[in-house]
């Protein structure tokens, strides 16, 4: 057996090790700038890079970070318009932000070993259709993905997350974060594909969830919300949360196909309850709802409202429908002082919300929006999240390409 056959690779390996100990593997609190593949290659002997790594505009084609396993700061690429692919085959963690923004030509993002990220922020990546996160990211403080070409969230495998924003991803048809049990921040799902199916099969607790423009929503395990559950302008035909017992504000507005809401275990609404402008919703029935800390504001075209367990409404009560429904049970609640605030209940051709907006699409062309709040007062129109500018830029850019 020849000795030299082994000594050559050994020398090469020790050479690489010496390079690693002597080279520049970044500095905490400062940024290592990457302008080309050779800058990335200069880091290939660093298992840990300290500080941030930033890709600088002007790069064209792809960049691969071989060898790096950890970044103690952020990995950032902003306005690197012509970057087509970004890959880090060995990278397992990014301590701070993983921020990619305005990278129009990016089609491939390959981070097969990545599991832990401080936060994910991807914005204006119109040609990125999938994430090659093979192991799957199971830890990220927050996730914001807006105006990308993603069709699914495959590769995002979180157990828990803070803020979670999915906005203006117009090709996104499927969100299934199977492992997620706890969303501690604000969830916003808005203006993605009109065919979007959202599934959170194991989500138990959340704080504030807003769904817009969504086709189906599945939250079979959801038990407690400390904030708002808001459904606006969705295409769902039914909404079921069989285990939900408490939430703050509960809003169902402008869901034109919504025919049934099933919240069989809902007992406490610690904010207000607002249901407005859901043209197909004929029956509203919350069998166990007992206390509402704010107002109840229910307008539309329904023919039956049933709140048989109601014991306390601290705000006002407004029920107005174009449909023929019975107010007798509510008249009694008003007489018995179960309802503390102002009381309105009637059939009318112009149902009006507490904030004065119209509560039925069958009688008006203008859209409306209402919120019953904990004070019992009405707030103005609910702001639609910032889909406008980035969506427009993305659309224009994709037309130009
Ligand atoms: C990286 O670039 C930024 C500005 O683009 C600059 O402030 C910073 O000093 C650069 N970092 C290094 C190590 O040269
Ligand atoms: C991207 O490539 C185009 C065409 O080669 C070039 O005109 C443009 O300056 C590049 N943009 C950036 C930010 O590098
Ligand atoms: C995430 O996945 C990695 C690798 O599979 C595993 O070692 C780690 O314990 C997981 N972390 C969490 C929070 O599940
Ligand atoms: C949700 O996560 C937060 C923060 O990690 C934690 O304080 C809270 O106890 C968790 N709730 C549940 C029900 O797991
Ligand atoms: C609903 O809650 C019950 C009682 O807490 C629990 O046994 C059941 O597994 C929950 N259902 C789902 C789908 O999580
Ligand atoms: C939900 O909240 C109720 C009342 O605050 C509490 O009794 C219950 O344990 C909570 N359930 C979960 C799954 O956190
Ligand atoms: C819930 O989040 C939405 C969207 O960010 C916000 O408009 C609303 O005020 C929040 N509601 C509560 C009760 O925090
Ligand atoms: C999304 O729903 C909102 C209502 O919440 C509506 O105003 C908006 O036009 C819808 N956007 C799209 C892209 O369908
Ligand atoms: C609820 O909506 C889903 C998705 O559109 C549908 O598959 C299901 O049949 C509906 N369930 C009921 C009871 O209408
Ligand atoms: C209204 O709905 C409730 C619950 O679904 C039902 O028990 C009741 O009979 C309905 N009332 C009318 C007049 O249809
Ligand atoms: C409304 O319903 C009640 C009870 O079902 C019925 O007696 C009454 O005639 C209906 N009124 C109209 C205008 O349809
Ligand atoms: C409905 O009730 C409100 C308050 O009692 C009243 O101002 C309004 O005129 C009523 N509308 C109809 C059509 O009776």
| Digit-coded pLDDT (tens) for 261-279 | 999 999 999 999 999 999 9
Model confidence at 401: pLDDT above 50: no
* For residues 308-333, average pLDDT: 96
Model confidence at 13: pLDDT above 90: no
Closest CA to 127 of 103, 110, 143, 145: 103
267 lines ligand 6 (CB under 6 A): no
Q: Whose Cα sits closest to atom 10 in ligand 4?
A: 182
* For residues 148-167, average pLDDT: 96
* Cβ count near 70 (within 10 Å): 16
* Cβ count near 317 (within 10 Å): 27
Sequence spans of domains, the chain: 223-401
pLDDT band, very low/low/confident/very high, at 359 (cuts 50, 70, 90):
confident
* For residues 225-250, average pLDDT: 97
d(CA 357, CA 336): 29
The stretches of 214-364 forming alpha helices (DSSP H) are 328-335
Q: Whose Cα sits closest to atom 13 in ligand 12?
A: 348
d(CA 168, CA 231): 16
Mutational test site, ligand 6, from 224, 229, 290, max ligand atoms within 8 Å of CB? 224
State residue 9's pLDDT score: 41
**What ranges make up the beta strands (E) of 88-233?**
93-101, 108-110, 116-125, 139-140, 143-148, 160-161, 164-167, 174-176, 182-190, 197-199, 205-212, 216-218, 224-225, 229-232
State residue 251's pLDDT score: 98
d(CA 176, CA 160): 14
* For residues 65-76, average pLDDT: 97
Opening angle at CA 112, ends 111 and 117, nearest 5: 55
pLDDT band, very low/low/confident/very high, at 310 (cuts 50, 70, 90):
very high
pLDDT band, very low/low/confident/very high, at 336 (cuts 50, 70, 90):
very high
* For residues 171-200, average pLDDT: 96
Torsion of CA 326, 330, 336, 341, to 10 degrees: -150
Model confidence at 58: pLDDT above 60: yes
d(CA 127, CA 29): 32
Structure-model confidence comparison of residues 12 and 93, the more confident one: 93
* For residues 283-302, average pLDDT: 97
pLDDT band, very low/low/confident/very high, at 340 (cuts 50, 70, 90):
very high
d(CA 360, CA 380): 17
Q: How far is the CA of 304 from the centre of ligand 10 (A)?
A: 6
* For residues 199-207, average pLDDT: 97
d(CA 191, CA 212): 6
Q: Point out the least confidently predicted range of 94-98, 285-289, 367-371.
A: 367-371
Pocket of ligand 12 (CB under 6 A): 344, 346, 348
Mutational test site, ligand 5, from 178, 201, 221, max ligand atoms within 8 Å of CB? 221
* For residues 214-243, average pLDDT: 97
Q: Which ligand gives the minimal distance to the CA of 348?
A: 12
* Cβ count near 396 (within 10 Å): 11
- Structural contact between residues 266 and 239, judged by C-beta atoms closer than 8 angstroms: no
State residue 361's pLDDT score: 77
State residue 7's pLDDT score: 39
Give me the sign of the Cα torsion angle 364, 369, 374, 376: negative
- Tell me the average pLDDT of the chain: 87
312 Cβ neighbours under 8 A, 6+ residues apart: 290, 291, 292, 338, 340
Residue at token pair 């403080």: 141
Helix (H, G, I), strand (E, B) or coil at 224: strand
HSE-up of residue 186 (Cα within 13 Å, Cβ side):
9
pLDDT band, very low/low/confident/very high, at 15 (cuts 50, 70, 90):
very low
In Å, how far are 31, 344, 368 from 359, measured between CA atoms?
54, 14, 7
State residue 71's pLDDT score: 98
Q: Whose Cα sits closest to atom 13 in ligand 8?
A: 191
pLDDT band, very low/low/confident/very high, at 3 (cuts 50, 70, 90):
very low
* For residues 31-50, average pLDDT: 96
Model confidence at 396: pLDDT above 50: no
pLDDT band, very low/low/confident/very high, at 363 (cuts 50, 70, 90):
low
372-386 pLDDT per residue, tens:
433 333 323 333 333
Model confidence at 8: pLDDT above 70: no
Per residue in 165-188, is it b (16+ CB within 10 Å) or e — as a string?
bbbbbbbbbbbbbebbeebbbbbb
Model confidence at 364: pLDDT above 50: no
State residue 314's pLDDT score: 96
């Amino acid at each position: 057996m020849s000795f030299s056959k082994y000594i050559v690779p050994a020398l090469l390996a020790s050479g690489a090790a010496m390079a690693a100990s002597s080279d520049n593997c970044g500095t905490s609190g400062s940024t290592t700038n990457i302008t080309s593949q050779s800058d990335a290659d200069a880091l290939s002997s660093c298992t840990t890079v300290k500080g941030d790594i930033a890709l600088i505009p002007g790069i064209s084609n792809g960049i691969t970070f071989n060898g790096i396993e950890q970044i103690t700061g952020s990995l950032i690429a902003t306005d690197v318009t012509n970057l087509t692919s970004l890959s880090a085959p060995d990278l397992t963690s990014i301590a701070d932000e993983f921020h990619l923004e305005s990278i129009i030509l990016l089609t491939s993002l390959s981070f097969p070993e990545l599991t832990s990220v401080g936060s994910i922020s991807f914005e204006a990546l119109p040609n990125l259709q999938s994430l090659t996160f093979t192991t799957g990211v199971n830890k990220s403080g927050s996730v914001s993905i807006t105006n990308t070409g993603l069709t699914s969230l495959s590769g995002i495998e979180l157990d828990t997350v803070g803020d979670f924003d999915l906005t203006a991803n117009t090709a996104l048809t499927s969100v299934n974060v199977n492992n997620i049990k706890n969303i501690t921040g604000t969830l916003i799902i808005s203006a993605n594909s009109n065919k979007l199916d959202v599934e959170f099969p194991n989500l138990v607790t959340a704080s504030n969830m807003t769904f817009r423009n969504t086709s189906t929503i599945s939250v079979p395990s959801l038990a407690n919300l400390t904030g708002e559950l808001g459904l606006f302008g969705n295409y769902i035909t039914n909404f079921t949360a069989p285990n939900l017992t408490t939430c703050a504000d509960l809003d169902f507005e402008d869901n034109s196909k919504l025919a049934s809401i099933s919240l069989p275990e809902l007992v406490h609404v610690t904010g207000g309850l607002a249901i407005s402008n859901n043209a197909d919703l004929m029956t509203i029935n919350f069998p166990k709802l007992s206390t509402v800390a704010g107002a109840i504001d229910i307008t539309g075209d329904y023919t039956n409202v049933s709140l048989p367990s109601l014991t306390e409404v601290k705000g006002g009560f407004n029920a107005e429908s174009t449909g023929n429904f019975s107010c007798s049970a509510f008249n009694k609640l008003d007489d018995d002082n179960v309802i503390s605030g102002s009381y309105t209940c009637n059939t009318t051709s112009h149902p009006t919300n507490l904030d004065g907006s119209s509560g039925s699409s069958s009688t008006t062309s203008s859209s409306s929006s209402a919120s019953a709040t904990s004070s019992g007062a009405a707030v103005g129109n609910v702001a639609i999240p910032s889909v406008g500018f980035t969506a427009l830029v993305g659309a224009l850019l994709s037309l130009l390409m």
